[in-house]
Chains A and B, each alone.
Chain A
Amino acid sequence: EVQLVESGGGLVPPGRSLRLSCAASGFTFGDYAMHWVRQAPGKGLEWISGISWNSYSIDYADSVKGRFTISRDNAKNSLYLQMNSLRAEDTALYYCARTVTGSYYYMNVWGKGTTVIVSS
């Protein structure tokens, strides 16, 4: 079964760091681009970062650029999101998502998400 499982969320004070992980199974992880998408409470979906299959292409939404770092380890079938200098507005449910075969732009497999709460 194709599956993505996020972990690493939790309650963290403003200004601190957190590292999210996404474990992939049921497919050849290294063949696919991956993304992180978040949803703040009561708000819509927000794309925050994407990474190509070989990590050569990486980009971020302006809202997290310079604070968050996406990475992947194809040998470990894992995607990561290092989040530094966290702010209250980073409070959200964070999803990792796999792209459609051969594409960077469309996400057809999603995890259930991990919740990050930034609060003192």
Chain B
Amino acid sequence: QSALTQPASVSGSPGQSITISCTGTSSDVGSYNLVSWYQHHPGHAPKLMIYEGSERPSGVSDRFSGSKSGNTASLTISGLQADDEADYYCCSYVGSSTLVFGGGTKLTVL
């Protein structure tokens, strides 16, 4: 159960787009379309932003989108806003009722 690999940090200016990658293996991300993304502001509970790779829960802005290619899932945030500054985590099913998170990416809005 190795953690999925995410960049430690990404940054962008307001209005720009950024993409956060989440790399796993053929045993997790590559095998299942069961990747989710969470936004976590320190001191608050994590918030589900994307599930099933690319689906948005109701209430989540369409500026957030998800995709997957091979063993890598990606989260793209377009039209960056100051409030998007947070930690972002991917999460994948890895079989046998087990989940694994990525190491997390700190997004800084410049």
User: A: which residues have CB within 8 A of B?
Assistant: 35, 37, 44-47, 50, 52, 57-62, 95, 97, 100, 103-108, 110-113
Q: Which residue of A37, A45, A95, A100 has the most chain B CB atoms within 10 A of its CB atom? A: A45
- The total of interchain contacts (Cβ-Cβ below 8 angstroms) comes to 69
User: B: which residues have CB within 8 A of A?
Assistant: 1, 3, 34, 36, 38, 40, 45-48, 51-52, 57, 87, 89, 91, 93, 96-104
Q: In whole Å, how far is B2's beta carbon from the nearest beta carbon of chain A? A: 10
Interfacial chain B residues near A46, Cβ < 8 Å = 101
Q: A44-B89, A44-B104 are in contact. Are A50 and B45 (CB under 8 A)?
A: no
Interfacial chain B residues near A111, Cβ < 8 Å = 45
Q: A105-B36, A108-B57 are in contact. Are A47 and B48 (CB under 8 A)?
A: no
Task: Establish whether residues A45 and B89, one from each chain, have CB atoms under 8 Å apart when the complex forms.
Answer: yes
